[in-house]
Amino acid sequence: MNFSTELLEAAPEVFRKALVLKDLYGTTNSYVRGPRGANRGKGLNDIIGRVKIARDSGATEEGIRDAILRGMTDPPNTIPERVEEVRRRFLKPV
Protein backbone atom coordinates (compact mmCIF):
# COMPACT_ATOMS: atom_id res chain seq x y z
CA MET A 1 0.00 0.00 0.00
CA ASN A 2 1.29 3.40 -0.88
CA PHE A 3 0.31 6.10 1.58
CA SER A 4 1.66 9.62 1.67
CA THR A 5 3.84 10.74 4.54
CA GLU A 6 1.14 13.18 5.67
CA LEU A 7 -1.38 10.36 5.96
CA LEU A 8 1.04 8.14 7.85
CA GLU A 9 1.69 10.96 10.31
CA ALA A 10 -2.01 11.86 10.65
CA ALA A 11 -4.24 10.98 13.57
CA PRO A 12 -5.13 7.27 13.86
CA GLU A 13 -8.79 7.98 13.02
CA VAL A 14 -7.85 9.66 9.73
CA PHE A 15 -5.46 6.85 8.83
CA ARG A 16 -8.10 4.21 9.63
CA LYS A 17 -10.68 5.89 7.36
CA ALA A 18 -8.20 5.97 4.49
CA LEU A 19 -7.22 2.36 5.10
CA VAL A 20 -10.78 1.00 5.17
CA LEU A 21 -11.75 2.96 2.04
CA LYS A 22 -8.71 1.58 0.21
CA ASP A 23 -9.69 -1.92 1.39
CA LEU A 24 -13.27 -1.37 0.19
CA TYR A 25 -11.92 -0.28 -3.20
CA GLY A 26 -9.76 -3.42 -3.45
CA THR A 27 -12.56 -5.75 -2.38
CA THR A 28 -14.97 -4.24 -4.92
CA ASN A 29 -12.29 -4.42 -7.60
CA SER A 30 -11.65 -8.09 -6.84
CA TYR A 31 -15.36 -8.94 -6.88
CA VAL A 32 -16.15 -7.36 -10.26
CA ARG A 33 -13.13 -9.05 -11.90
CA GLY A 34 -14.25 -12.48 -10.77
CA PRO A 35 -12.23 -15.49 -9.62
CA ARG A 36 -8.47 -15.09 -10.09
CA GLY A 37 -5.67 -17.32 -8.84
CA ALA A 38 -5.65 -19.19 -5.56
CA ASN A 39 -7.71 -16.52 -3.78
CA ARG A 40 -10.65 -17.03 -6.15
CA GLY A 41 -11.84 -13.48 -5.76
CA LYS A 42 -14.11 -11.84 -3.25
CA GLY A 43 -17.84 -12.25 -2.76
CA LEU A 44 -20.65 -9.76 -2.40
CA ASN A 45 -20.74 -10.46 1.34
CA ASP A 46 -17.14 -9.25 1.56
CA ILE A 47 -18.18 -5.90 0.09
CA ILE A 48 -21.10 -5.65 2.51
CA GLY A 49 -18.73 -6.31 5.42
CA ARG A 50 -16.25 -3.69 4.21
CA VAL A 51 -19.05 -1.12 3.89
CA LYS A 52 -20.09 -1.80 7.51
CA ILE A 53 -16.48 -1.43 8.66
CA ALA A 54 -16.14 1.82 6.71
CA ARG A 55 -19.29 3.22 8.31
CA ASP A 56 -18.09 2.18 11.77
CA SER A 57 -14.76 3.92 11.18
CA GLY A 58 -16.54 7.19 10.42
CA ALA A 59 -16.10 7.31 6.65
CA THR A 60 -18.65 9.50 4.85
CA GLU A 61 -21.29 7.98 2.59
CA GLU A 62 -19.76 9.97 -0.27
CA GLY A 63 -16.34 8.44 0.42
CA ILE A 64 -17.86 4.96 0.51
CA ARG A 65 -19.70 5.53 -2.78
CA ASP A 66 -16.51 6.87 -4.39
CA ALA A 67 -14.47 3.85 -3.28
CA ILE A 68 -17.09 1.45 -4.64
CA LEU A 69 -17.43 3.36 -7.90
CA ARG A 70 -13.66 3.44 -8.45
CA GLY A 71 -13.44 -0.27 -7.64
CA MET A 72 -16.13 -1.01 -10.23
CA THR A 73 -14.72 1.10 -13.03
CA ASP A 74 -10.93 0.63 -12.70
CA PRO A 75 -10.41 -3.03 -13.61
CA PRO A 76 -10.04 -3.77 -17.33
CA ASN A 77 -11.83 -7.14 -17.46
CA THR A 78 -15.00 -6.92 -15.42
CA ILE A 79 -17.93 -9.29 -15.38
CA PRO A 80 -20.95 -7.16 -16.41
CA GLU A 81 -23.39 -9.08 -14.20
CA ARG A 82 -21.26 -8.41 -11.14
CA VAL A 83 -20.91 -4.73 -11.97
CA GLU A 84 -24.70 -4.45 -12.26
CA GLU A 85 -25.18 -6.27 -8.94
CA VAL A 86 -22.83 -3.87 -7.13
CA ARG A 87 -24.43 -0.86 -8.82
CA ARG A 88 -27.92 -2.02 -7.84
CA ARG A 89 -26.93 -2.84 -4.24
CA PHE A 90 -24.67 0.06 -3.30
CA LEU A 91 -25.07 2.92 -5.77
CA LYS A 92 -28.75 3.61 -5.51
CA PRO A 93 -29.75 7.06 -6.77
CA VAL A 94 -29.84 9.58 -3.95
Q: State if pTM tops 0.85.
A: no
Q: How far apart are CA 54 and CA 33, in angstroms?
A: 22
Report percent pLDDT > 70 for the chain: 84
**pLDDT value, residue 7:** 61
Domain ranges of the chain: 17-90
Alpha helices in 1-94 (DSSP H): 5-8, 12-33, 44-56, 61-73, 80-90
SS3 13: helix
Report percent pLDDT > 90 for the chain: 46
Amino acid in position 69: L
